[in-house]
Structure 1
Amino acid sequence: MIINTELEYKGNLFPGRINSFSQDVDKINFKTENGVILQVTILRGSVIRFRYATDNNFEKDFSYAISKDGVRGYSKLEVEEHKDCYKIITLKIIIKISKADLKVSIFDIHGNVICKDDWGFHWEQSYEFGGNIVKMSKAAPQGECYYGLGDKPMHLNLKGKRIENWATDQYAFGKDQDPLYKSVPFYIGMHEERAYGIFFDNTFKTFFDFCHERRNVTSFWAHGGEMNYYFFYGPDMEDVVTRYTDLTGKPELPPLWALGYHQCKWSYYPESKVKEVTSKFRELKIPCDGIYLDIDYMDGFRCFTWNKEYFPDPKRMVKELADDGFKTIAIIDPGIKIDDDYWVYKEAMENDYFCKRADGPYMRGKVWPGECYFPDFTNPKVREWWSGLFKEIIDEIGVKGIWNDMNEPAVMEVPGKTFPDDVRHNYDGHHCSHRKAHNIYGTQMARATYEGVKKYAYPKRPFIITRSAYSGAQRFTSSWTGDNIATWEHLWIANIQAQRMSMSGMSFTGSDIGGFAEHPTGELYARWIQLGVFHPFCRTHSSGDHGNQEPWTFGQEVINVTRKYVELRYQLLPYLYTMFWEYAEYGVPMLKSLVLYDQYDLQTHYRTDEFIFGNQILVCPIQEPNSKGRRMYIPKGKWYNYWTKEFVTGGLEQWVDAELDTIPMFIKEGAIIPKYPVQQYVGEKKIEELKLEVYFKLGAKEVSKVFEDAQDGYDYMKGRYSLRTFSFTGKENEVIIQQHKDGTFITEYETMVFEFIGLPFKISEVEIDNEVVDLKTIDFDPVRNIMKIPKNFTEIHIVG
């Protein structure tokens, strides 16, 4: 029925008929007879923004999530008017806007439906808060799958799930529990091998329903703000993720040490305990780069202070740790203790930097220090002030990284565990309530922290880690998955969360290895460390309430397993660093779920355990106790078992043996895997040679890359990097490896050690840059097929 010229159904209001159309370069506006406006903005041929207004008014356009550095521009844009619809045509897609009801249908250039509205945009007015509850529903064809949405601890494929985004401190969360710490309102849909993405850039509490309420409908809605979403077309899933990551921003490269192994506990104190732990790592020769200080390093949990009883001379301690290769990372929370003798509190009060309630009093809440006020990190003046607070801890004391916790924001002993809705925020001049600012509070804290650490660590790179995050946080920070539990179920959850975060644009993520709450068995810890070394961020962390969780607390067998896998991570640092360069440069996910790796294989659509580390290493953790192996799916193609060098054909599920010291791990044929010598910490040794493990493939070229630079600093942005691109071509009786090098950085090693695996012939001749060489001059080992080659070759030709 029609009420006041607005269409209404079950309390929802709908757009009427289009009565005007206009275009301003890349923005196309459609207005309806009942005051609804749809603005379609063409960012790229495959990236489209849809923005809806009611009452003929848009809100002021502002987003914390969108990167100013994202790619813009398109090569084709045509708008056609037809009898029943308007048609927008780009090089990649065709968009039809129905004249009757403003519904949107999106097709590829061949006319196949990618995504279309069901009810489309609709809304209801919010009497309690004002504004609208904005809603969107899309048709969900049978067989469509859904992925993404950040840290959700549930099956990778979200079909049948209903999701809530409201950053929440969920201590000891469980499988399928929702919401958690992060709000990443971006999902990937895939149907008939065509993938698309939708990013609902709305910081209010948002919901996503993937055929949960209605079998053939996917919908998303928010408790305020605008219906404002970005559409990304693939058709490859990886392209959807890279386009989303480009829009919301890519990170800088971290210092290489940040990709090493880190050790953490609540809490290591006093100084003697910190030294005891770090000394034990060196004694046992388990590599480690990061040692963490939790809240007990502070004076009464006051941020930016030190407990001088526990840490009488922090500058000396941090230097001594650094001399032994350990970088110190310290925690900083948002709650500032109410204390007239506390300089941080006094500065914030003098400048009116704390969040306030609607009627004027400051937002007061209990956290670790007791009663606290909380900085409004959505105020640019507050962020600038906060960044300046890091001068002493970073520049003078020498701490190398900062860990932001409790920034959902978490408040103890109150309903909802966070701020009430009426708290007011600056929101960079777009003043609002906490309903709008809640989901981005943690990201803005991490941003202010990043700006401070970057300023005072310069010319070195900053390292930040955060618990709470919204889309775009990857520009400033890494993250971890929060307060998990030492259970086998949580090992499964950690695997899922790291994969999901990667496909949600936040690759630099890991879990608390071993579990934060409770105490793992030695077997569980061993299996978790095997998984954790293949996550971009690698840190053991525990609450300490249930015993210690250093590797040596579990006995000699677990020490040996830990050393073996941490050493493997350090060997693989050039591979991992190259993965990160691809992520930072192109937005390529560092971990690839099997569906992201090969969406055209239907067997991958519901796989959760296996994943691709980078582009060429397949990993599948053991996730059950007392297991001597497992069944796993090997993706299509041909792979080498890393441990046995056995050659296997993929495309089927098969049994893989895995004793306690083994994680199933396979290398893609044709891959060239770079390795460094084992180091106890990054920078301990001069890298005298780069090892390259070459896995034979019969057939066409396979490309591998190695990115290197000074391992810290910003010279890589000025071209001082080394990017080696290797092309491998294998034939029945010969191998050709070609090298192309970009960048001006000169690596310290002069030779590369090639090891050929799976060669179907015995090597009789080696030619380097068209010259046959004496095999003795390259230290050729005919048993292991190892040889040393000068690093700057252009082509190696190996003949049987």
Structure 2
Amino acid sequence: FKTMVIIDPGIKIDREYSVFNEAFEKGYFCRRADGPYVKGKVWPGDCYFPDFTNPEVREWWAGLFSGLIEEVGIAGVWNDMNEPALFEVPNKTFPDDVRMDYDGNPCSHRKGHNIYGMQMTRATYEGVKRSLKGKRPLIITRSGYNGLQRFTSVWTGDNLASWEHLVIAHYQTQRLNISGISFCGSDIGGFIGQPSGELYVRWIQMAIFHPFMRTHSSGDHGDQEPWSFGEKYMDYVRKFINIRYKILPYIYTCFYQYHKNGTPMIRPTEFVHDEDATRLINRKVECYLGDHLLYAPIMQPGSQGRIVHLPSGKWYDYYTHAQYEGDSEYYIEADLNKIPFFIKAGAIFPEFPLMQYTGERAIETLTLKIFLEEGQHKSYLYSDDHDGYSYKDGQYRYAELVMHFSNGILTIEQLYDTAYSTQYQNFKLELIGMDSLKKELDVRIDDQAPIVMNIDALIIPENFRKLDIML
């Protein structure tokens, strides 16, 4: 397990607190227009607030994390209440006349409000990164602005344990993604109130596709851990958390594409199919995760399924491998044991072996699910050390996997231009989409002489360049 701490901007007014004394003596706190420091009541009581729009204050703040990271062993930091939020005032935040440095361009809180939280998170990110000494920081923020994705993940705020807020979370994550902020998610089950077991399961099902997945609540309304709703619901929750861990290499590849190209991880269908956007603009249920996965959450109580519009192309049901022609609507049965989601035909879809947490064991074999489709199709797979910055020195592989399938011959080319050796040694291929397949298949690896392989044991070296399988 790893521990994150919540750190808010309000610093308790306490002359025995060294952080307060240092900030006070250096004049780092925000002031009212007529001179005094702005004072507000938050969780510690009466507090002053650093001016994070001042570069000198940000540098000071960044230097405060070494003890937490290097000595206590904290893994990440969650910045909360950083709008900034205040108790016991009508507008719940600073008065408009509070002054801010604004990177040397002094202004009032009316101008600086929207960037205050992001600049706090920016300073937190820099400090945690510095203290981790070569590892990647994980930061969460409640408040932010355009550009926050450079520093932090974000969640959708203090939501309610209701079906309405499940729907809202589905819309919010899509909109954040196409606004440039992909590393996002919601409080699973709702922050305020307690969900039913059914609502909690449906929320988990949706959240396995969110880049940021977290179950969280205020704790004031009863327990909300996955085991809090009884054995029946825990079994459902376990199933979908297991799926999340299996599809992590696909999600990780989506993260790389987002990092490298700015491509949203979650994509509304009208975003992907802009040629058909006028017709798809009101279809808010179905959306993509990455290039090849489409999901459609169940968002009404008691539902045993839903109508799903599949975009153009051919699609495979993830569970049953049933095939569907796109540009059509289907009623998909989905009791609590299922969320409708589909893989696009022609995709090469990577999966990890089942684990209970990342890094539980070394991964020797990565599964590639081959969703067969006639013609030529491209997929991608990104691999690196999963932490640190060695990828900046070429220690990664971003492989283009090109499938050619025609006349019973499947050819897969793996194109990459770095010398990185992946953590896994082999691929296990799983062929999906033909009614019947021979038990023994002729396989040619890198134009060598064909070898006979059992269909249930198609184990291929991870560094292959070309693969021919006679089906």
TM-score bin, normalised by smaller chain: over 0.9
Secondary structure in 2 matching 1:445 = helix
Q: Provide Cα deviations, 1:463-518, integer angstroms capped at 9, x if missing partner.
A: 10101111011101110001000000111001000000000000000000010000
Aligned with 1:765 (options 426, 442, 445): 442
Contact 1:425 1:431 in 2 (8 A): yes
Q: How far, CA to CA, are the matches of 2:374 and 2:232 in structure 1?
A: 40
Q: Report the residue type matching 2:44 in the other structure.
A: P
1:669 equivalenced with 2:345 (yes/no): yes
Contact 2:157 2:186 in 1 (8 A): yes
Q: How far, CA to CA, are the matches of 1:400 and 1:448 in structure 2?
A: 16
In structure 2, the partner of 1:774 is: 451
Q: Report the residue type matching 2:464 in the other structure.
A: F
Q: How far, CA to CA, are the matches of 2:274 and 2:416 in structure 1?
A: 32
1:688 equivalenced with 2:359 (yes/no): no
Spell out the pairing of 1:607-686 with structure 2 (5 A cutoff): 607-686=283-362
Query: Of Structure 1 and Structure 2, which has the larger fraction of its residues in strand?
Result: 1
1:410 equivalenced with 2:66 (yes/no): no
Contact 2:385 2:423 in 1 (8 A): no
Q: Report the residue type matching 1:505 in the other structure.
A: G
Q: How far, CA to CA, are the matches of 1:468 and 1:609 in structure 2?
A: 26
In structure 1, the partner of 2:75 is: 400
Q: How far, CA to CA, are the matches of 1:773 and 1:730 in structure 2?
A: 18
Secondary structure in 2 matching 1:553 = coil
Q: Report the residue type matching 1:550 in the other structure.
A: E
Structure 1 position 765, deviation (Å) = 2.3
Q: How far, CA to CA, are the matches of 2:408 and 2:353 in structure 1?
A: 31
Secondary structure in 1 matching 2:412 = strand
Structure 1 position 768, deviation (Å) = 1.7
Structure 1 position 698, deviation (Å) = 1.0
In structure 1, the partner of 2:403 is: 728
Spell out the pairing of 1:495-514 with structure 2 (5 A cutoff): 495-514=170-189
Q: Provide Cα deviations, 1:318-342, integer angstroms capped at 9, x if missing partner.
A: xxxxxxxx11111000011111111
Aligned with 1:796 (options 443, 447, 467): 467
1:451 equivalenced with 2:126 (yes/no): yes
Secondary structure in 2 matching 1:470 = coil
Q: Which runs of 5+ in 2 are unaligned?
A: none
Aligned CA RMSD, in angstroms, stands at 1.1
Structure 1 position 567, deviation (Å) = 1.2
Contact 1:732 1:761 in 2 (8 A): no
Q: Report the residue type matching 1:369 in the other structure.
A: P
Spell out the pairing of 1:182-193 with structure 2 (5 A cutoff): none
In structure 1, the partner of 2:135 is: 460
Structure 1 position 751, deviation (Å) = 1.3
Identical columns (%): 52
Contact 1:780 1:788 in 2 (8 A): no
Aligned with 1:542 (options 217, 226, 234): 217
Query: Of Structure 1 and Structure 2, which has the larger fraction of its residues in helix?
Result: 2
Q: How has the CA–CA distance of structure 1 residues 732 and 761 changed in structure 2, closer, same or farther, with 3 Å as cutoff?
A: farther
Structure 1 position 747, deviation (Å) = 1.5
Structure 1 position 426, deviation (Å) = 0.6
**Which is bigger in relative contact order (C-alpha 8 A, separation at least 6)?**
1
Structure 1 position 772, deviation (Å) = 4.0
Question: Aligned residues, how many?
Answer: 468
Secondary structure in 2 matching 1:489 = helix
1:349 equivalenced with 2:24 (yes/no): yes
1:481 equivalenced with 2:152 (yes/no): no
Structure 1 position 761, deviation (Å) = 5.8
1:387 equivalenced with 2:58 (yes/no): no
Q: How far, CA to CA, are the matches of 1:583 and 1:570 in structure 2?
A: 20
Structure 1 position 762, deviation (Å) = 2.9
Q: TM-score, normalised by structure 2?
A: 0.97
Q: How far, CA to CA, are the matches of 1:744 and 1:434 in structure 2?
A: 51
Q: Provide Cα deviations, 1:780-800, integer angstroms capped at 9, x if missing partner.
A: 32xxxx511122211111223
Spell out the pairing of 1:224-373 with structure 2 (5 A cutoff): 326-373=1-48
Q: Report the residue type matching 1:678 in the other structure.
A: L
Q: How far, CA to CA, are the matches of 2:330 and 2:221 in structure 1?
A: 38
1:519 equivalenced with 2:194 (yes/no): yes
Structure 1 position 663, deviation (Å) = 0.2
In structure 1, the partner of 2:95 is: 420
Secondary structure in 1 matching 2:234 = helix
Q: Report the residue type matching 1:773 in the other structure.
A: P
Q: How far, CA to CA, are the matches of 1:526 and 1:328 in structure 2?
A: 25
Secondary structure in 1 matching 2:346 = coil
Q: How far, CA to CA, are the matches of 1:500 and 1:460 in structure 2?
A: 30
Structure 1 position 592, deviation (Å) = 0.5
Secondary structure in 2 matching 1:417 = coil
Q: How far, CA to CA, are the matches of 1:511 and 1:494 in structure 2?
A: 6
Contact 2:249 2:351 in 1 (8 A): yes
Q: How far, CA to CA, are the matches of 2:279 and 2:232 in structure 1?
A: 36
Question: Which structure's CA Rg is the greater one?
Answer: 1
In structure 2, the partner of 1:250 is: none
Secondary structure in 2 matching 1:600 = helix
Aligned with 1:751 (options 405, 409, 426): 426
1:557 equivalenced with 2:232 (yes/no): yes
Structure 1 position 779, deviation (Å) = 4.4
Q: Report the residue type matching 2:197 in the other structure.
A: G
Secondary structure in 1 matching 2:405 = strand
Contact 1:693 1:756 in 2 (8 A): yes
Aligned with 1:591 (options 266, 286, 290): 266
Q: How far, CA to CA, are the matches of 1:351 and 1:605 in structure 2?
A: 53
